Amino acid sequence: MNIVISALFFLIMVFLISLIWTNTHGAPWVPTSREVINTMLTMAEIKPGEIVYDLGSGDGRVLIAAVRRFGARAVGVEMDVSRFLWSIAAVTLLGLGKQVRVIRGDFFKVDLSEADVVFTYLLQNTNDRLKDKLRKELRPGTRVVSNTFTFLGLPLVRNDDELKLFLYRIT
Ligand SMILES: C[S@@+](CC[C@H](N)C(=O)[O-])C[C@H]1O[C@@H](n2cnc3c(N)ncnc32)[C@H](O)[C@@H]1O
């Protein structure tokens, strides 16, 4: 019984630390709705085989939609352990293990240079810190779609005022 209580306590602590860590290092978990994901993916004009990154991939819903609806290959980066494990389980159950890779870590430390499309749903101050990394690592032509928050200084191609979506193209 003691072992069970200790294990439970340990898991709760991991969950809480992870939650606090992501909130202070990037953004809290607020999932994008299915409707918004659809519009984001359509805005980015993803072609089959393109590599789509979701920075802070949560439960993997953007990755899964990019692969299933657009035939993309998808890479997620997620810092929070519980959501990382959840997304791995979802991807595995759906049989998408070959098309989706999820990295457990900090997207500020991951090389983004292979991306054709990058999605973000973070916070304004996180976008402000991320902007120079995107400029430095992404190839010309790479599209960046941001939910709710802007990347001031990146070339804006289109925006959806109603859904608060912003499409940029790296030059
Ligand atoms: C607003 S949620 C968006 C989740 C998903 N992209 C979606 O649209 O449904 C932000 C996610 O980013 C993760 N996150 C925050 N900072 C991070 C960092 N520095 N590196 C990796 N993931 C991070 C959080 O754990 C959370 O799951």
* Residue 108, pLDDT score: 98
Q: Give the Cα separation of 70 and 66 in Å (integer).
A: 5
22 lines ligand 1 (CB under 6 A): yes
Q: Find out whether 109 and 129 touch, Cβ atoms under 8 Å.
A: no
- Atom 9 (ligand 1): residue with closest C-alpha? 31
33 lines ligand 1 (CB under 6 A): no
* Residue 166, pLDDT score: 98
106 lines ligand 1 (CB under 6 A): yes
60 lines ligand 1 (CB under 6 A): no
* Residue 28, pLDDT score: 80
* Residue 21, pLDDT score: 66
Ligand 1: centre distance to CA 122 (Å): 6
Q: Under the phi-then-psi rule, with left for phi > 0, alpha for psi from -120 to 50, and beta for the rest, what region is 45?
A: left
Pick from 18, 118, 132: which is nearest to 77 by CA? 118
Q: Give start and end residues of each alpha helix (H) in 29-80.
A: 34-43, 61-70
What rounded mean pLDDT belongs to the chain?
A: 93
Query: Which residues does the chain have with pLDDT short of 70?
Result: 1, 10, 14-15, 17-25
* Residue 18, pLDDT score: 66
Copy the structure tokens of residue 143.
């599209």
15 lines ligand 1 (CB under 6 A): no
- Which domains does the chain show, CATH number per domain? 2-169 (3.40.50.150)
Q: What is the pTM of this model?
A: 0.90
Ligand 1: centre distance to CA 127 (Å): 12
